[in-house]
Amino acid sequence: MDLSTTIAGVHFPTCLMNASGARCVTEHDLHKLGNSHAGAIVTKSMTPHERSGNPEPRYVSFDGGSINSMGLPNLGYQAYAQLIPDLRQYKKPVVASIAGLKPADFLEAVKAINVAKPDLMEINLSCPNIPGKPQIGYDFQASEELLMKIRDLAVPPIGVKLPPYFDPVHHEAMAEVLTRVGVSFISVINSVGNGLVLDAETETVVIKPKGGFGGLGGRIIKPVALANVRAFWKLVGEKIQIIGTGGVETGQDIFEHLLCGASAVQIGTVLVDEDVKVFERLKHELAGWLRKKGYDSVAECRGKLKAL
């Protein structure tokens, strides 16, 4: 069974990788991903300076998903620029995730990370967890201006990590931006921002930052993730490859993302829950699904979802 995929001309030995944020902050985390069955190593979204992130508790799993307001804890781009060359020993793509609190932060990081030669850069326009900083991906003009500048600076192919959109007009507007910029791939979706989970017994919120508001992940967001993959596949699938992110817990979930048009998937909540051994389980489960449905490869079933 061929579980490999190719994104922006880069070969991935399997189509499964971590979502930026899940177990990918430290040097130890990144080498663990290297030694695992993950098909790539995606770094935590990096900012100019090391950040400790938001106050704890800031990540809670619950039945059906997770809520987080991590606040971009990361080592700072200089540390990742030093780590990335060593990660190449694992013979799988290294994807540098770039974030920032203002546009200049992204440009600074892109310039520095070029030197480390990651295979791809994923530009994170969708972190919902920085108080006072709205998700850039919901501002189409600001997204376009920033991405045009990044495109002109970045050496590796760039992709964009997008927030979920809930209206076809917004899918269309972002698809036009992405086409004008000429990005190579998109990762959809980041967490569903600013959800609220509470504990009725104690009558409290479950995470501390932002009064308990945080990004939702896991099984509960799968329909939103699939809808975004499908919508972008229909709009730009011929030109821009899609990494499906959101609600992947089983091989069936991966198969559903592929049917909607994803070329690969990222794993978040269940990676936090099960650690890197999850990749081996998911590989076997995906192979089982493809075999059962008569497909020989990931590429064969991509986008094959039928309408009624």
- Residues near ligand SIN (CB under 6 A) are 21, 45, 69-72, 124, 126-129, 190-191, 215
Instruction: Give the C-alpha separation, 34 to 92, whole Å.
Output: 8
Residue position matching structure tokens 């064969």: 300
- Amino acid, res. 241: Q
DSSP labels, 145-164: HHHHHHHHH-SS-EEEEE--
Q: How far is the CB of 190 from ligand SIN (least distance, A)?
A: 5
Q: Least distance in Å: CB of 22 to ligand SIN?
A: 10
In the complex, what is the shortest distance from the CB of residue 194 to ligand SIN, in angstroms, rounded to a whole number?
11
- Nearby residues of 24 by Cβ (< 8 Å), 6 or more positions away: 18, 30, 33, 41, 42, 43, 44
Is the separation of the CB atoms in 240 and 214 below 8 Å?
no
The answer to whether 207 and 59 have CB atoms below 8 angstroms apart is yes
Cβ-based nearer residue to ligand SIN, 126 or 263:
126
280 contacts 272 by C-beta, under 8 angstroms: no
- Cβ closest to ligand SIN, residue 5 vs residue 69: 69
Q: Nearest Cα to 87, choosing from 96, 98, 76, 74?
A: 96
Decide if 127 is catalytic.
yes
DSSP 203: T
**What is the nearest approach in angstroms of ligand SIN to the Cβ of residue 218?**
13
Catalytic residue chosen out of the listed positions 24, 127, 260, 301: 127
Q: 246 or 261: whose CB is closer to ligand SIN?
A: 246
Minimal distance, residue 126 CB to ligand SIN, in Å = 6
Give me the least distance between CB of 246 and ligand SIN, in Å please: 12
Residue closer to ligand SIN, measured from CB, 192 or 229: 192
**Do residues 46 and 77 make contact, with C-beta atoms less than 8 angstroms apart?**
yes
Chain center to CA of 299: 20
Give the separation between CA 255 and CA 204, rounded to whole angstroms. 37
Nearer of residues 189 and 298 to ligand SIN, judged by Cβ: 189
Q: Is 277 exposed, middle or buried (0-12, 13-18, 19+ CB in 10 A)?
A: exposed
Residue (72 or 95) nearer to ligand SIN, CB: 72
Query: Distance (Å, rounded) from C-alpha 144 to C-alpha 148?
Result: 6
Active centre residues (catalytic) = 127
